[in-house]
Amino acid sequence: MSRISVDTVKHVANLARLAITEQEAEKFSKQLDAILTFAEQLEELDTQNVKPTSHVLDIKNVMREDVAEKGLPVEEVLKNAPDHDENQIRVPAILE
Amino acid sequence: MSLFDHSISELHKKLHSKEISVTDLVNESYKRIAQVEDKVQAFLTLDEENARAKAKELDEKVGKADEYGLLFGLPIGVKDNIVTRGLRTTCASKILANFDPIYDATVVQKLQTAETVTIGKLNMDEFAMGSSNENSGFKPTKNPWNIEYVPGGSSGGSAASVAAGEVLFSLGSDTGGSIRQPAAYCGVVGLKPTYGRVSRFGLVAFASSLDQIGPITRTVADNAYLLQAIAGVDKMDGTSAPVDVPDYLSALTGDVKGLRIAVPKEYLGEGVGEEARQSVLAALKVLEGMGATWEEVSLPHSKYALATYYLLSSSEASANLARFDGVRYGVRSDNASSLIELYKQTRSEGFGDEVKRRIMLGTFALSSGYYDAYYKKAQQVRTLIKNDFENVFEKYDVIIGPTAPSTAFKIGEKIDDPLTMYANDILTIPVNLAGVPGISVPCGFGTNGLPLGLQIIGKHFDESTVYRVAHAFEQATNYHKQKPVL
C-alpha cells in the first residue's frame, strides 16, 4: 500500500500552504512515497531506551539580561514589504 | 598567472610593500568574471560599484598606515543565503528575487571588520537544498573543470568561483555536505566547522540544528585564516558556542607524527566508487609516510544517516520556510483574493520543486500521528550516529574517508530521481548529524579529469587538528596546484 496517497499529498500541501495541481500531487505522491519507504529502514533499529538528540551542543536556554535594545527602524522594515500603508503591512481582507 | 594563485599571506606582503593595490585585486576579480562567468555562472549578483569604491578607500588607508589585518583588501564572494545589507540576497529562490536585507549577518560584519571586499553573491541550490546547483531558481552553476558537469551543491557557486579564479575565497554553508561536496567536485578546500563554532545569525535557516557557515579557499592555510576571522560566540545566535577560538595558524606545523587515524569501513564500502576509494588509500599512504598510523574502524549506524538526515532536515525546513508567505518581504503573488490564497499562491509560484518536496516531507513527518514514527525516531537514531563518532574519537585523533562517492556527475544526470541525488551525500551527512568539523582537500583526479576530495573529520571544536592533517597532506602533494582551464 502506498504510504502517501494523492489525497494525503493534497492534505499535507494544504497544511504547508502550497497550492498544487492534480498532476503535481501525483508526482509528489510517488516521490514522497519512495523517500518514506527508504526512511522506514530506521524501523530496523531498536531505539526504545535511546534519548532523542535535537542538537549536539551542551547548551540549554541561553538567557540574556532583560534590557531593552533598539529594534530595526519601521521604515527600513517596511522597505521589503510587498504592500504597506503608512506603518502597516497590507494584506487581503480577513474579515468580511 | 593570476594574482589569486598567491596565498593570503603572500598577497598580504605584496599589499604591505605596495607591490600591488587593493584596486589591482578587485580588478583581477572583475576581469576574470568578465572572461569566464558566461561559462561558470557562479554569481547571482555582482556588487562592482561598491567593491571598487571600497578598494579605493582601502588603498588610501594603506598609504596612511601599515598595520592592517591579514584579510585586508582581499576579494571575497558570499553565498546568497547569507544576508548582506543593501545587497540583494535571494537564496537562489524566486520567492526572494527582490529581497534587499536591512542588516548584515554576523559573519559579514566580521568580514567588514577584517576589511575584505565583497565582490558579489554566489549561486546555490534554492534554500541550500540540493547537491548539484541544478535546483537554483535562476540558473545552474557549472563545474570549472568541465562545464558539462555539476559543481556540486548546495554551495556550488562558492566552490566554482574560487576554482575558476573569480574570487580569492568565499563563504558557503553546510547542512549535509554543502561546503565539502562542492569543494571536492571543484578541487578546492572547504571546511564545515563544528556546529556552534560560527554564528548563524543572518544565515537564512534551512535546518537550524545542522546548518554551519564555513570557508572555501584554494589552500588549507587560507582556509584557517578565514575561519579565524569568522569564528566565535555571538550574542545574536544562542546556538553559537562559548568556546575559545584557538590560533588556527599555529596548528599548521606539517607534523603528523604519531597521529592516530580511523578509517571507517563503511566509508570505503558499498556505494563508494573505486576511484574515490583508491585516492583515499593513496592519501593514507602519504600520511603514513609522515609518521601517522591508521586502522580500520566501524561507524555502524552510517547506513541510517541518510534517512535520518532527510527526516530531520526536512522537518526543520518545513518550519523554517513557513516565514516565506509574501506578507513581510519577498515576492507576493498577484493571483490571490484572500489571505490563505495569497499564502498558497505566493509559495507555489515562488518555491521550486525540491523545496516543495522537502516542505511536504517535513510537514508530513511532523504531523499528528506520524511524529513519533518519523521525527522522533530520526532524533533517536541521530543519538546513535553521534555516539558512533564519540566512540571512535576515544581512541583516534581524526577520521578519514572520501568526501563524495565519486567525482562530479553530469548536469541532468540525477535531477529526476531525488533518492539517487541524495545518495551523493552519504559520506558528509553523518558529520552534520554528529556536529563535528570536517574538511575536504583535493586528493586526486578521476579518469574524466575531474577532482576528488579527501574528507578529514575531527572532534568537536578541534578544527586545529583537522587543519594540521589537511595541511600536512596538502604540502606533501601537488593536487591543489592544478587549476582548471577555462
* CA–CA gap between residue A32 and residue A68 (Å, rounded): 46
Q: Is B235 a catalytic residue?
A: no
Which chain A residue is nearest to residue B317, measuring alpha carbons?
A16
A51, B364: Cβ pair inside 8 Å? no
A92, B343: Cβ pair inside 8 Å? no
Supply the range of the domain harboring residue A28.
6-43
Catalytic residue among B93, B154, B170, B314: B154
For the four alpha carbons of B377, B378, B384 and B387, in that order, the dihedral sign comes to negative
Q: CA-CA distances (angstroms) from residue A54 to B306, B371, B373, B378?
A: 16, 14, 16, 10
Vertex B77: Cα angle to B475 and B68 (nearest 5):
70
Q: Is B18 a catalytic residue?
A: no
pLDDT digits (tens, 9 = 90+) for A8-53: 999 999 999 999 999 999 999 999 999 999 999 999 999 999 999 9
Among A40, A41, A51, A53, pick the best mutation site for testing chain B contact (most B Cβ within 10 A): A53
Q: Which three cell numbers stand for residue B302?
A: 552510517
- Is residue A35 a part of any domain in this protein? yes
> Which is it for strands B212-217 and B169-174: parallel, antiparallel or unpaired?
antiparallel
Query: Average pLDDT over chain B, rounded to whole?
Result: 96
B377, A64: Cβ pair inside 8 Å? no
Residue of B102, B105, B106, B43 lying closest to B76 (CA atoms): B43
Q: Is B16 on the interface with A (CB under 8 A)?
A: no
Confidence (pLDDT) at A1: 44
* Per-residue confidence in pLDDT tens, chain B, 486 aa: 899 999 999 999 999 889 999 999 999 999 999 999 999 999 999 999 999 999 999 999 887 666 789 999 999 999 999 999 999 999 999 999 999 999 999 999 999 999 999 999 999 999 999 999 999 999 999 999 999 999 999 999 999 999 999 999 999 999 999 999 999 999 999 999 999 999 999 999 999 999 999 999 999 999 999 999 999 999 999 999 999 999 999 999 999 999 999 999 999 988 899 999 999 999 999 999 999 999 999 999 999 999 999 999 999 999 999 999 999 999 999 999 999 999 999 999 999 999 999 999 999 999 988 999 999 999 999 999 999 999 999 999 999 999 999 999 999 998 888 888 888 899 999 999 999 999 999 999 999 999 999 999 999 999 999 999 999 999 999 999 999 999
pTM equals 0.97
Confidence (pLDDT) at B66: 65
Nearest to B326 among A35, A76, A82 (CB): A82
For the four alpha carbons of B167, B169, B173 and B176, in that order, the dihedral sign comes to positive
- Is residue A80 a part of any domain in this protein? no
* CA–CA gap between residue B86 and residue B94 (Å, rounded): 18
- Is residue A1 a part of any domain in this protein? no
B 229-268 → A contacts, CB under 8 A: 235, 238-239, 241-242
Using only the alpha carbons of chain A, give its radius of gyration: 23
For residue A73, the SS3 value is: coil
Total tally of structural domains belonging to chain A: 1
B301, A12: Cβ pair inside 8 Å? no
Kindly list the strands in the beta sheet with B398-402, ordered across the sheet, starting from the edge strand earlier in the chain: B43-46, B117-122, B75-79, B169-174, B212-217, B189-192, B438-445, B451-457, B398-402, B260-264, B293-297
> Which is it for strands B260-264 and B293-297: parallel, antiparallel or unpaired?
parallel
Predicted confidence (pLDDT) at residue A61 exceeds the cutoff of 90: no
A47, B377: Cβ pair inside 8 Å? yes
Catalytic residue among B93, B178, B314, B315: B178
Which chain B residue is nearest to residue A18, measuring alpha carbons?
B344
> Which is it for strands B438-445 and B189-192: parallel, antiparallel or unpaired?
antiparallel
- Is residue A18 a part of any domain in this protein? yes
- Is residue A66 a part of any domain in this protein? no
- Is residue A77 a part of any domain in this protein? no
Q: Which three cell numbers stand for residue B72?
A: 585586508
Letter string b/e over residues B42-52, b meaning 16 or more CB atoms within 10 A of that residue's CB: bbbebbeeebb
List the CATH number of the domain containing A11: 1.10.20.60
A80, B386: Cβ pair inside 8 Å? no
Catalytic residue among B21, B29, B54, B79: B79
Vertex B238: Cα angle to B376 and B233 (nearest 5):
130
- Is residue A13 a part of any domain in this protein? yes
Q: Is B161 a catalytic residue?
A: no
Smallest Cα distance from B379 to chain A, Å: 5
* CA–CA gap between residue A76 and residue B70 (Å, rounded): 34
B310, A52: Cβ pair inside 8 Å? no
For the four alpha carbons of B125, B378, B436 and B287, in that order, the dihedral sign comes to negative
- Is residue A32 a part of any domain in this protein? yes
Set of chain B residues whose Cβ sits within 8 Å of the Cβ of A20: 348, 356
B380, A47: Cβ pair inside 8 Å? yes
Q: Which residue has the cell 510587498?
A: A82
CB distance B249 to B224 below 8 Å:
yes
Position B128: which residue type?
A
Which chain A residue is nearest to residue B101, measuring alpha carbons?
A80
**DSSP letters along B192-259, please?**
EPPTTSB--TTBPPSSTTT-EEEEEESSHHHHHHHHHHHBS-BTTBTTS-------GGGG-----TT-
